[in-house]
Amino acid sequence: MITFEENFMFIMTTREKYINPYTDFGFKKLFGTKANKELLIDFLNQLITEQGTITDLQFLSAEQMGRNIFERKAVFDIYCENEKGEKFIVEMQKAEQSYFKDRSVYYSTFPIQEQAMSGNWNFQLKAVYFVGVLDFVFDENRDDEEVFHHEVKLIDTKTSKVFYDKLTFIYLEMPKFNKTEDELSSRFDKWLYVLKSLPKFQQRPRILQEQIFKKLFSVAALAKLNPEEVRGYEDSLKVYRDNINVVDTAKAKGIKEGLKEGLKKGLEKGLKKGIKEGLKEGLKKGIEKGKAEGVKEGIEKGKAEGIKEGIEKGIEKGKAEGIKEGIEKGIEKGKAEGVKEIAKSLLNMNVPIDQIMKATGLSENEINEIIKN
């Protein structure tokens, strides 16, 4: 059990004054408790305006079982419903996952299915919202640095109009939000600013004077955590930092191996492509040069010089294209190996398999294969 002295030493030695909301403990401390539900209500009201103002929320069980013992269960970060019976799943996703969108669609099926009624039922459903606060950027959106707030609904592709408005997926790519304190123009901006920068603050910024933010900073203060909460936060913070280190190491290793393999494959492909294009271009230039110097002598001499020049240029062109393609394939392979490295490291830390599945996107069978090997 943590003593008062250990609690005091943790608070005094850490440079941070407020909890990190990207940790599992921090996110649920701010948004996942009945005592602090007004924080979640205000955040959702700024994020989702179409459904009207939320006046109350009731927290539901975060662990959802399948319809029978053979079906996979789901564990949400936060699951709640408002006074209208509309459902909200709120997830803080720290590590990038290849199939996070698929996971969010899968999660949304649970609040839909649980609305089914026995007997005579007309299939009318309450709205379901999935909110993903992401500490990463989707691969397909990396070139778009402007749009970080994505709101997805079922759309009729023929009319470009919303076909069904009771199922909404909202994704916030937090690394793209880079507004400074002076650039904050709305309460929504302020929420994102707080979520991204909370551990960096030494005091509440002057622009965050609303009562809701006063409460948030009070709840988030490390000095107000009791010994049991300090222990929980320390464990959660360690997992968060270890996860970042594992991801960074895996990326670096993947890039290094990818470059090495990419260069090798690029050279091989470049030589083959260069010779082929060189012969083609050489014959063309040889014939052109041969025509100018004479049909017989020109063709023979032109072929030789043209083939030589064409092969050289073709090899250079082929190398460049081959290296580029090889690097891309190498990085893809590196990413896959990096995910396995993450899983291995988390297994070594005795992290439960369901949390490893959530953090890496790997299936239970894939993780078991890693354990066997």
In a domain, 227, yes or no: no
Of the candidate ranges 184-188, 215-219, 310-314, the one whose mean pLDDT is the lowest: 310-314
Can you tell me whether residue 168 is helix, strand or coil? strand
Q: Are residues 201 and 268 in the same domain?
A: no
Q: Are residues 130 and 75 in the same domain?
A: yes
Q: Are residues 262 and 186 in the same domain?
A: no
Q: Are residues 338 and 201 in the same domain?
A: no
Instruction: Please tell me the predicted confidence (pLDDT) of residue 369.
Output: 84
Q: Are residues 266 and 177 in the same domain?
A: no
Confidence of residue 91 (pLDDT cuts 50, 70, 90): very high
In a domain, 7, yes or no: no
In a domain, 82, yes or no: yes
Q: Are residues 265 and 215 in the same domain?
A: no
In a domain, 95, yes or no: yes
**For residue 332, pLDDT beyond 80:** no
**Dist CA 188 CA 135 (whole Å):** 17
Q: Are residues 199 and 289 in the same domain?
A: no
In a domain, 151, yes or no: yes
- Asked if residues 104 and 130 have their Cβ atoms less than 8 Å apart, the reply is yes
**Dist CA 39 CA 276 (whole Å):** 66
Q: Are residues 34 and 88 in the same domain?
A: yes
Task: State which residues form the domain around 325.
Answer: 249-372
Q: Which of 170, 201, 220 delimits the end of a domain?
A: 220
In a domain, 76, yes or no: yes
What average pLDDT does range 300-310 have in this prediction?
A: 73
**Dist CA 51 CA 44 (whole Å):** 10
Type and span of the H or E element at 132: strand 128-134
Confidence of residue 130 (pLDDT cuts 50, 70, 90): very high
In a domain, 4, yes or no: no
Q: Are residues 152 and 298 in the same domain?
A: no
Q: How many domains does the chain have?
A: 2
Q: In the chain, pLDDT over 90 holds for what percent of residues?
A: 50
Q: Are residues 312 and 201 in the same domain?
A: no
Instruction: Please tell me the predicted confidence (pLDDT) of residue 298.
Output: 52
Q: Are residues 206 and 253 in the same domain?
A: no
**For residue 153, pLDDT beyond 90:** yes
Q: Are residues 299 and 208 in the same domain?
A: no
In a domain, 65, yes or no: yes
Instruction: Please tell me the predicted confidence (pLDDT) of residue 8.
Output: 45
Higher pLDDT, 152 or 360: 152
